[in-house]
Amino acid sequence: YKRQIMSIITNVGDGLFLLLVAFFVFLFRSKKMAIILFIAFIVSSGLVQFLKHVVFENHMRPMYVFQHVKGFHQIKDFHYHLFQSFPSGHSTSSFVLFTFLAMNFAKNWQTKILCFIGALFFAFTRVYLSQHYFEDMFAGAMIGFLCMKYTQVFLQSKWLHLDQPLNK
């Protein structure tokens, strides 16, 4: 039962979910923040895909290694990937999203810690579901955090005009 729930909530780390959040931020909050989130996502995703498909293309996923082990639990109707494990893209997207939330919406350190716990939880679903090893999750988390942090730091002051009302 827990694995079925995890197989659903792991989608918070999917890039499409992050793009949906960026779209809503753009519509209802701030064009500048949405563009910064989108750029951090593009940079981090590009880096992850390069690492997965070029540098670590032969890094097998846990299910590849354990698929023939008797008693290894699998979720019925869950699509397991077997190849290109390193780094975890879902972990990257989770950390981009929750770092963004912590930097832009968290009012105190307790809320920032909750954002970190949320990012860690959604990243960990990938390990729990045998889609990644811990090091895949950790590397993805670091890529996501650093891409979001540096994108925000470098672009925050450069695009102040994006949130200004148009003068007529």
**Res 168: pLDDT:** 46
Q: Which single residue is written with the structure tokens 């005009």? A: 161
Over residues 133-154, the pLDDT tens digits come to 999 999 999 999 999 999 998 8
**Which pTM does this prediction carry?**
0.85
Rounded mean pLDDT, 109-129: 93
Report yes or no: 119 and 95 within 8 Å, Cβ to Cβ.
Answer: yes
**Res 110: pLDDT:** 96
Tell me, what DSSP letter sits at residue 68? T
**Res 67: pLDDT:** 80
Rounded mean pLDDT, 113-135: 91
Question: Which amino acid belongs to residue 55?
Answer: V
Distance CA 31, CA 45 (A): 21
Rounded mean pLDDT, 99-121: 95
- Nearest by Cα to 126 from 6, 45, 43: 6
Q: Tell how far CA 40 is from the center of its chain.
A: 10
Report yes or no: 151 and 39 within 8 Å, Cβ to Cβ.
Answer: yes
